[in-house]
A and B are shown apart, each in its own frame.
Chain A
Amino acid sequence: MTKKISILVVDDERSVRDSLYNWFIEDGYHVDCAEDAKKALSILEAESFDIVLADIKMPGMDGLEMLKRIKTIRNDAIVIMMTAFATVETAVQALKDGAFDYVTKPFDPDDLSHLIRNASKQISLMEENEVLKDKVVSLENVEDLIGESEAMVQVLREVESVAQSNASVIITGESGTGKELVARAIHSNSPRRYFPLVSVHCGALSESLLESELFGHEKGAFTGAVYNRKGRFEMADNGTIFLDEIATISSKMQVELLRVLESKSFVRVGGNKEIKSDFRVICATNRDLKAMVDNGVFREDLYYRLNVVNINVPPLRERTEDIPLLVDYFIKKYCTTMNRPIMTVDPAALKRLEEFPFPGNIRELENMIERAIVVGNGKKITLKDLPIEKSEAMPAFESLDELEKHHVLQILNKYNWNISASAKALKVDRVTLYNKIKKYQLKQTK
């Protein structure tokens, strides 16, 4: 026995209390007795007992009433009711009110041993459950969301405030910024954390596949549907469904999705039975959904249904101060995975990383660090381990004009502002190049 189980015996008959006391003491339990419900409740308020063994018929407050009160003090208390006058009604009532079991006095010594053994097993299972829950929480914490920059702190703050609610969330941000990690953080901090987080990458599936994936299908619904299959909405019951790349779904799926979000019920492909599921929706996209709504590509009603809360994950170039932290984190992660000693980073290499625009965001940085650990000398990550040339350190521009301006300037600098050579390299005539210089107000820097 790892932990001493404590038992409170509540019975108005002294002989019963004494008998049970002696019996349990010999079994090594911690035992206390109370002669009525009132005393038992006051003992329970002061001290916690694992098992309460209580008589139903007692003067004053009876055992059933006491059971209800005990449940208000400690809902998970294991209460075993006993009586000399067994009726089916009282037994059923006791069990309905939350009693663990019900026994008729006098009982067989073996029954008593079994009863207490079962209750002890239940207690250890409950304790184990608590320990496992704690472990799950610590496993699913948001440690992958690295960053101390103001932008990232703001994201974490939003995650924290939205997690406890049931509101739909749209996570926006460029590819590779960690939108799924944000979704995971919301889920693992929400009351739904002990239930599944089901991810669906909408962009990777065709319309019919996505439909079958989300709603499930019945056997024979289409060629290849040889079994009944649960859909992701069904799997996410009591949990969260994460719809990545939501902007890629077809207009037909948008209608279907809106209906499911409104009714929280759906029918499997090829089926006719309505299935209910209680899930929370978190979506992610790297596109401007509002613009898509304005252009009539994305349904407005679905947009407003999904966009209760919007969390924008900043691109890495807007939080370069987080790069050292991220580099450190990925080094530890991959060195541990590859069973290597933890490496350090050369300051020059770190500076280059901080200057690099990372169009692929954190995903790109992560891959870069992983590669550097593989090809590196095992002690320090240096410039030569990084797959970036200095000239590659080009910011990621959204508009074509900005890109053109940057490229023209780069070529002009390369050819020392020799217009003819630069125009030849750019494969444009000299007049066009002059026009570009004028348009972008380019100037030679000394």
Chain B
Amino acid sequence: MKPENITLISFGYFEKRFLGEIMYDVEREFRIPVVIQEGHLDLSEYFDPARRQYNGNLLLRDIDKQFASDQVKTLALFNIDLYIPILTFIFGQAFLNGRCGIVSAYRLYNERYGIKADERVFIDRLCKEVIHELGHAFGLIHCPNPTCVMRSSTYVEDIDQKSWSFCAKCKKELE
């Protein structure tokens, strides 16, 4: 069943023009109206002092419990360093064919890697990650096509290499 809309919830501060651009790209790729909301959550519950990171599994679980619904696909945007117990970090994650996903902008900035800040590159990365995690929520798995947005990315360079649109095969599955 096609959801009524895609809801992007920002937790923490994101510039409006960034969100506007993401909204435009997501709408273009999924052809579903996008709604932007602001969310509030006590993130200290998810903080692991030993790792100095936030537990992505718990966060995703609570986003699903508190913010998601069956009629819409929800994507929560954060600006914190996410991890899951087995991995050193994640850019984001979603329930496959589920109701929601999460994406963090934390590791998408050039500055984190000692490179000069580039707003254009950052927005592109964020858009791609949002579309990628929403793709999972719509039931898509990782795609071997190197330019498809559903290509698995474990480094920011991987994100830069892929486009922000679905390949023909993924597009067909999405439909």
Contact = CB atoms under 8 A, between A and B. Distances in A.
Contact of A109 (B57, B94, B136, B154): B154
B114 interface: no
A110 B155 contact: yes
Contact of A27 (B94, B95, B152): B152
A109 B87 contact: yes
A28 B142 contact: yes
Contacts of B83: 106
Interface string B121-143: 00000000000000010000110
B141 A26 contact: yes
Contacts of B90: 109
B155 A15 contact: no
B30 to A, nearest CB: 18
B85 A110 contact: no
Contacts of A27: 141-142, 152
B87 A22 contact: no
Interface in A93-130: 105-110, 112-113
Contacts, number: 65
Given A22-B96, A26-B96, A113 B152 contact: yes
Given A18-B57, A22-B93, A113-B152, A13 B88 contact: no
A83 B89 CA distance: 17
Contacts of B86: 16, 19-20, 23, 82, 105-107, 112
A107 B88 contact: yes
Interface residues on A, range: 20 to 34
B88 A19 contact: no
B87 A19 contact: yes
A291 interface: no
Indicate the member of A15, A106, A107, A112 with the most B CB atoms within 10 Å.
Answer: A106
A25 B152 contact: no
Contacts of A15: 55, 57, 84-85
Nearest to B141: A28
Nearest to B97: A25
A1 interface: yes
Contacts of A1: 144
Contact of B87 (A25, A26, A28, A108): A108
Interface in B81-131: 83-90, 93-96
B142 A106 contact: no
A83 to B, nearest CB: 12
Nearest to B158: A110
Given A26-B142, A27-B141, A106 B96 contact: no
Nearest to A20: B86
A18 B57 CA distance: 8
Contacts of B144: 1
A18 to B, nearest CB: 6
B141 A23 contact: no
Nearest to A19: B84
Contacts of B154: 108-110, 112-113
Interface string A51-76: 00000000000000000000000000
A19 B155 CA distance: 18
Counting from the closest, the 3 A-B pairs by CB-CB distance are A110-B154, A19-B84, A28-B141
Given A20-B86, A26-B152, 11 more contacts: A15-B84, A16-B85, A19-B57, A19-B86, A22-B93, A23-B84, A25-B141, A27-B142, A28-B142, A106-B86, A113-B152
29 contacts: A15-B55, A16-B86, A19-B86, A19-B87, A20-B86, A23-B84, A23-B87, A25-B96, A25-B141, A26-B93, A26-B96, A26-B141, A26-B152, A28-B141, A105-B85, A106-B83, A106-B85, A106-B87, A107-B86, A107-B88, A108-B88, A109-B87, A109-B88, A109-B89, A109-B90, A109-B154, A110-B155, A112-B86, A113-B154
